[in-house]
Structure formats: structure tokens, C-alpha cells
């Protein structure tokens, strides 16, 4: 039995982790931690889980997690870097779903996150947990930084083309649309139904904190400098991310060559589906899949890539479990396909 805990279990990602993990016969969630809701039953905040999940939220006491196999940290950025250092020496594996351990440079972190990094000593060790890119490193990791939701959709879309030199590393334009659950369980007026419904707005134009993790991961993979623009938009859906990417072809190529490249790049990836037509969010909602569609636009010599994920699953909790599976040597799909 795999003994786990979730720190920060009252947010949407934490709840989704709990929902997935509690359905597994081979996993026990021994602690469900959320200081703000300590003493409440999970089913009070998430009545959907009543009868299925009996657990109660508890305070964070690192020593109480001693000896667990895996601890998931689903805290806001800035909070994760306080909790993780208290955990890494006491539990076998830590998977952080926040942004605090995704970058190697604390300077870059501070630029995009707007506050100092107080656990920079762990940045080097942390493994960026995009399973389709770096399974072996995840296998060996003690601390995995689960990728951002936008980053997941952009990276899975770009890695094959960029790592194979099919597209230019400069001038990449990434537009993403996200459902509101991506903003977390929030009481901000601007996330109220009356403000979000029948509306769209871009936000953090040019300075979203997922930019550096996209860029540095691409650069590592491409072996050269990458420059890109990323504009996220909030749209009136609950779950899902739609990412549309324009990049310039570096070489003459055909639709079928690109399709072939992507298909073979992801041949052993159980959760990436290369589509022959345009992907749609509805096909991946409530799954750990990422669907990718590809269009060669002759007129502008560009490759247009569209990718879709469920932001709370492949973009957060599902990917974290996929990482856990890899870290523990289990089949990658365990508990992620019904």
C-alpha cells in the first residue's frame, strides 16, 4: 500500500488529487491537510465526495507525515517553498503542484513571481515533472515540480517540432484560453459568475509566471535560445485549456511529415493523442489526455499547433499522479484511466 498525504487539500487541485487517489485500491491518503479548513470534513467543502471520502482536514504538522511514501503539495506559489523543505528529509517523494520549484534560477523566479525564493537550495535538485519529456529523471527524483497547466499544454505542443529543428526557435506565439477553475477556489469579484459569464479577457499579458518554465524547458530541449510570447485568456468554462501556437517553419515540410513526427515522438506516451483534425476541449475534460492538432499553413510557412488539456487533471492533479506512478515504478496510467 502506497502511503500518501496531500498538503493544501482544500483547493481545486488538492480536491482533484483526493478524488483520484481515493479511488485507488493501492493507495492510502493518510493525511488531508488544509490549515484554513482544519477540523472540517472534506465532504463539507466538497459534498460531491460525501460517502466516498470520509477524511477530515488537518493542520500542517510535518512530523506527522514522517515516513510517508509520497506527499503532494498543492499550495499557492510562495507557500510551497515553506512546506517543501520541511518535507524532503522526512518522506520518500515530494510532488509540488505549485510554481516554486519549476525554475532553476531564483532570480528568474523572483522576476516572475514577485517575491524572494526562500528555498533556493532545492531548485537544483527539483526535477521538472513533465512525464513525456523526462521520465528517467522523474523516476530518480526525490522532489518533482509538477508543471504549470499552461506550460503543460504549450510544451507538449511544441517539444516535438522544436527539438527536431522543424520550427524556428524565435517568433513563437502562444495564445491560451483557460477555464476559471485554473484560478483556484476564489472569492475575487472578477471571478464571480456575473463577471465571467458571457465575457472573455486576456490577463498578465507578457508577464505570466508560466513563461519562464516554458522557455527554459524548450531551450533545453532545442539546445538553443528560444523566444516566445504568451497571452492567457480567461473564458467562461469551468475546466480546460485551449492553446493555439504559431511558429515559423525552419525547413520545407508537409502535414504528413509533421503528423508522423508527432505521432512517433509520443508513440509511448499513454496520455498524448495526436489528432488528424482540430482538437476540442470537451474531448479531454475529466481525463488526463492532451490532444494535439497540427496545421501546416503554406501561405505563411508556419506550423499552427493546437493542444487541449483539462487544467485540473493533465494540468495539475492527473499529471502529479502520473509523476507519482513513474517515481514508484508503477504503470504510468494507474488510477488515471477509469
User: Footprint of a second copy on residues 218-257 (CB under 8 A)?
Assistant: 227-229, 231, 233, 235-240, 242, 244, 246, 248
CA proximity to 4, closest of 333, 323, 332: 323
- Cα distance between residue 291 and residue 328, in whole Å: 26
User: If binding is defined by CB under 8 A, does position 275 make contact with a second copy?
Assistant: yes
CA angle 175, 173, 239 (to 5 degrees): 20
- Cα distance between residue 220 and residue 224, in whole Å: 7
User: If binding is defined by CB under 8 A, does position 259 make contact with a second copy?
Assistant: no
For the CB of residue 205, give the shortest distance to a second copy in the complex, in Å: 5
Residue selected from 287, 288, 322, 325 as contacting a second copy according to rule CB under 8 A: 287
User: If binding is defined by CB under 8 A, does position 258 make contact with a second copy?
Assistant: no
User: Footprint of a second copy on residues 29-58 (CB under 8 A)?
Assistant: 47-48, 50-52
HSE, side-chain direction, 13 A CA sphere, residue 257: 11
Smaller CB separation from a second copy, 63 or 276: 276
User: If binding is defined by CB under 8 A, does position 25 make contact with a second copy?
Assistant: no
3-state SS assignment for residue 201: strand
Residue selected from 100, 132, 291, 332 as contacting a second copy according to rule CB under 8 A: 291
For the CB of residue 266, give the shortest distance to a second copy in the complex, in Å: 11
Give the Å distances, CA to CA, from 53 to 28, 75, 181, 195.
Answer: 11, 21, 21, 33
CA proximity to 32, closest of 47, 48, 52, 53: 53
User: Footprint of a second copy on residues 119-178 (CB under 8 A)?
Assistant: 171, 173, 175, 177
User: If binding is defined by CB under 8 A, does position 180 make contact with a second copy?
Assistant: yes
For the CB of residue 192, give the shortest distance to a second copy in the complex, in Å: 5
Residue selected from 153, 181, 217, 288 as contacting a second copy according to rule CB under 8 A: 181
User: If binding is defined by CB under 8 A, does position 304 make contact with a second copy?
Assistant: yes
Is residue 311 within 8 Å of 124, Cβ to Cβ? no
> What is the CB neighbour count within 10 angstroms for residue 194?
8
- Cα distance between residue 38 and residue 40, in whole Å: 6
What is the total residue count of the chain? 338
Is residue 123 within 8 Å of 100, Cβ to Cβ? no
For the CB of residue 164, give the shortest distance to a second copy in the complex, in Å: 22
User: If binding is defined by CB under 8 A, does position 302 make contact with a second copy?
Assistant: yes
CA proximity to 305, closest of 334, 336, 265, 335: 265
Per-residue binding letters, 183-222, with a second copy (x by CB under 8 A) = x-xxxxx-xxxxxxxxxxxxx-xx----------------
Query: 124, 139, 149, 290: which is the annotated catalytic residue?
Result: 149
Q: Is 139 a catalytic residue?
A: no
- Which positions are annotated as active-site residues? 149
Amino acid at each position: 500500500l502506497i502511503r500518501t498525504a496531500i498538503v493544501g487539500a482544500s483547493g481545486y487541485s488538492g480536491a482533484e488529487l483526493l478524488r483520484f487517489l481515493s479511488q485507488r485500491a493501492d493507495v492510502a491518503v493518510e493525511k488531508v491537510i488544509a490549515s484554513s479548513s482544519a477540523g472540517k470534513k472534506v465532504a463539507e467543502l466538497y459534498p460531491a465526495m460525501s460517502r466516498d471520502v470520509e477524511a477530515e482536514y488537518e493542520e500542517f504538522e510535518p512530523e506527522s507525515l514522517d515516513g510517508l511514501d509520497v506527499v503532494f503539495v498543492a499550495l499557492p506559489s510562495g507557500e510551497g517553498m515553506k512546506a517543501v523543505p520541511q518535507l524532503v528529509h522526512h518522506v520518500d517523494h515530494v510532488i509540488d503542484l505549485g510554481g516554486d520549484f519549476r525554475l532553476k534560477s531564483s532570480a528568474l523566479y523572483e522576476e516572475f513571481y514577485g517575491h524572494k525564493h526562500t528555498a533556493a537550495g532545492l531548485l537544483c535538485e527539483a526535477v521538472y515533472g513533465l512525464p513525456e519529456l523526462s521520465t528517467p529523471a522523474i523516476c530518480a527524483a526525490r522532489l518533482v515540480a509538477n508543471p504549470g497547466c499552461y506550460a503543460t499544454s504549450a510544451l507538449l505542443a511544441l517539444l516535438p517540432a522544436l527539438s527536431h529543428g522543424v520550427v524556428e526557435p524565435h517568433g513563437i506565439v502562444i495564445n491560451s484560453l483557460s477555464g476559471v477553475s485554473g484560478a483556484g477556489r476564489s472569492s475575487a469579484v472578477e471571478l464571480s459568475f456575473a463577471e465571467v459569464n458571457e465575457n472573455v479577457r486576456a490577463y498578465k499579458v507578457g508577464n505570466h509566471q508560466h513563461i519562464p518554465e516554458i522557455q527554459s524547458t524548450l531551450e533545453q530541449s532545442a539546445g538553443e535560445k528560444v523566444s516566445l510570447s504568451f497571452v492567457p485568456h480567461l473564458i467562461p468554462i469551468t475546466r480546460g485549456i485551449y492553446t493555439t501556437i504559431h511558429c515559423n517553419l525552419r525547413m520545407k515540410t508537409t502535414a504528413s511529415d509533421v503528423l508522423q513526427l508527432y505521432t512517433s515522438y509520443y508513440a509511448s506516451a499513454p496520455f498524448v493523442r495526436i489528432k488528424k483534425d482540430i482538437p476540442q476541449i470537451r474531448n479531454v475534460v475529466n481525463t488526463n489526455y492532451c490532444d494535439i492538432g497540427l496545421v501546416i499553413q503554406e501561405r505563411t510557412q508556419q506550423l499552427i499547433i493546437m493542444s487541449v488539456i483539462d487544467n485540473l487533471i493533465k494540468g495539475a492533479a492527473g499529471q502529479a499522479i502520473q509523476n507519482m506512478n513513474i517515481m514508484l515504478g508503477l504503470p504510468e496510467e494507474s488510477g488515471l484511466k477509469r
